[in-house]
Amino acid sequence: MRRLLLEVPAWVLLFAMLSFIYLPVVVLVLFSFQGSDLPVPPFDGPSLEWYRRVLANDRLISSLGNSLIVGVASSAVATLLGFLAAYSMFRMAPKAAGLVRVLLIAPVTVANLIVGLGLLIVFNLAGLGRSLVAVGIGHVVINLPLCYAIIYSQFGDQLRNLDNAAHDLGAGDLATMSRVIAPVLIAPIVAAFCVSFTLSWDEFIIAMLLSRFDVTLPVMIFELMRAGLTPEVNAAGTIVFAISIFTAVIAALTMLLKQRRDS
């Protein structure tokens, strides 16, 4: 009886917390299937009308394409640079690596707004202006520390000997990285790429500041909303959400498979 008295409030609290986190998403997804013109109760769907409109909206579709390009390209660059940084830190003497390690991770603490404004000023000074490439560079800046941290966390003693063995057998640094280290660390590399992609995929502030005519999907959705709240925004948002979840699941599965293989 006493256990029940303690457990009931715990369950209620858990339910309240989960609702707080997931209810907005559920509402967003639910009203993307709305039958009428406004994404507010009562729900009178389900209808795929708004998805049809999203697919028919050329600007939305091209912004979705832009987001994919920026996400894939910036994540590829951030993962590659993160891997190279992690391997260098691993090879470097611990003392010398200390400061560099801090400098590599530090950008995580800088707000996206500051990163975006900083890059905007730099690009203007350099005469490059705003573009999708600028957005991509911005995303590399914010994702590189994460990619580095995810990959670096997987370097250990076992890898130390593999690295030594590869060098001992005559492999140079490049061959060691490409033939031994990267294949062994493939799971964290894929995970870093996926995490980086999800963050780039729904990043708004930097994309807003650094893009001009070609915009990414979050910026496009923002513009749609300024024109008025319709279930079309919900439908576009649901697509963004679905792709994020998909990427996150791939990241989780990769790490899970790796753990199972290791054990």
Partner 1 sequence: MTNAAVELQDISKSYGSVAVLDRLSLAIRKSEYVVLLGPSGSGKTTLLSIIGGFCEPSTGRVMIDGADVTDLSPAHRPTVTVFQDYALFPHMTVRQNTAFGLSMRRVPERERTAQAEKALEIVGLAGFGDRKVHQISGGQRQRVALARAIVIKPAVLLLDEPLGALDVKIRRQMQDELRQLQRALGATFMHVTHDQEEAMSIADTILLLNKGRVEDVGPPERIYKKPASLFAAAFMGEANLLQGRISNAVNGSVSVETSVGRIPAKGAGEVGRRVHVSIRPESIRTGNPPDGSGITLGKAKLSEFVFQGTHKRCMAAIGEGADNRLLLRLPADSDLTPESSAMLWVPAADVTLINEDAAQK
Footprint of partner 1 on this chain (CB under 8 A)? 158, 161-162, 164-172, 175, 179-180, 183-184, 186, 261
Handedness of CA 174, 180, 181, 187 (dihedral sign): positive
- Give the shortest CB-79-to-partner 1 separation in angstroms: 18
Of 130 and 167, CB closest to partner 1: 167
- Give the shortest CB-180-to-partner 1 separation in angstroms: 6
DSSP assignment string, 227-247: H---HHHHHHHHHHHHHHHHH
Of 180 and 207, CB closest to partner 1: 180
Cα atoms in the 13 Å half-sphere on the side-chain side of 161: 2
Of 53 and 167, CB closest to partner 1: 167
Of 35 and 172, CB closest to partner 1: 172
DSSP assignment string, 129-172: -S-HHHHHHHHHHHHHHHHHHHHHTT--HHHHHHHHHHHHTT--
- Give the shortest CB-190-to-partner 1 separation in angstroms: 14
Helices 49-56 and 231-262, packing angle to 10 deg: 90
- Give the shortest CB-51-to-partner 1 separation in angstroms: 42
- Give the shortest CB-262-to-partner 1 separation in angstroms: 9
Of 165 and 257, CB closest to partner 1: 165
CA distance 251 to 157: 24
CA distance 182 to 174: 10
- Give the shortest CB-205-to-partner 1 separation in angstroms: 40
Of 142 and 180, CB closest to partner 1: 180
Handedness of CA 108, 223, 63, 41 (dihedral sign): positive
Tokens of 87: 């391997």
Of 226 and 261, CB closest to partner 1: 261
**Rg, the chain, Cα only:** 23
- Give the shortest CB-78-to-partner 1 separation in angstroms: 24
